[in-house]
Amino acid sequence: MPETSLSAQEFLAIADHTLLAPGTTPDELDTFISGAASLGVARVCVSPSLLPAASHGREIVTVVGFPSGAQHVEMKVAETARAVADGADEIDMVVNRGLVRAGDWAAVEREIRFVRAACFGRVLKVIIESAALSDEEIVGACRAAEAAGADFVKTSTGFDPAGGASVHAVRLMAATVGGKLGIKASGGIRTAAAVRELWAAGATRFGVSGTAAILAEWDGAGSSAGSVSGGY
């Protein structure tokens, strides 16, 4: 558990300000990214079909195999290569949950390795959809991601009905990777209290869409159980 509190500026440095709503137009995207620059976040996470886009000085994160993760690995590799060509700095891939639930760890690792090769030199995060997995499956997915050379494991897409980030999942993921990978918490993180809970549990990056609202109530936020809810 971190020994010091997380400041608003430190949060901005580890927040992926997120816009993944279907139907977003290029003009809406540009407004969003310019607004992210005004907020002071380091990076934005947006849909791959909207790239390339003016970054306004932000790093660009995009998603692959989103949101189900059920695509063939060849499709994820092609999507990754296109995202890199279109200027993505970081890739958040959704793992094939069926392979995870089947315990086919060799296949899970193989899939991640192929995507890793397609975005070599970029940051790769593996979305495991933790709310839909057992503890044993979470541990196995994290170990496969580490073995395949990923940089982060990520809790959730924010689009699954099972829910988003939880303190329990983040704590388990952090204990499993032991600092060798980062932990991105995403899905249902809507308050500064939730950010602080998840950071204390071991999160090192956050996927958030309501960044401005979180910042607005930062100084008055304490810690309250149950402040993380489902949804992005």
- Residues annotated as catalytic (active site), given as ranges: 92, 154, 184
| Contacts of 157 by beta carbon, 8 Å cutoff, 6+ apart | 63, 66, 67, 94, 127, 129, 186, 187, 232
CA proximity to 85, closest of 96, 73, 77: 77
State CA 224 to chain mean position distance.
Answer: 23
Report the largest interatomic distance among the alpha carbons of the chain, rounded to a whole angstrom. 47
Bond prior to 26 in cis (omega within 30° of 0): no
- Cα–Cα nearest to 67, from 86, 47, 44: 47
Q: Using N-to-C axis directions, what is the helix angle for 135-147 and 167-177, rounded to 10°?
A: 40
Angstrom distance (rounded) from CA 154 to CA 148: 15
User: At a CB cut-off of 8 Å and minimum separation 6, what does 45 contact?
Assistant: 16, 17, 18, 19, 20, 61, 62, 63, 92, 207
Which of 46, 34, 5 shows the shortest CA–CA distance to 207? 46
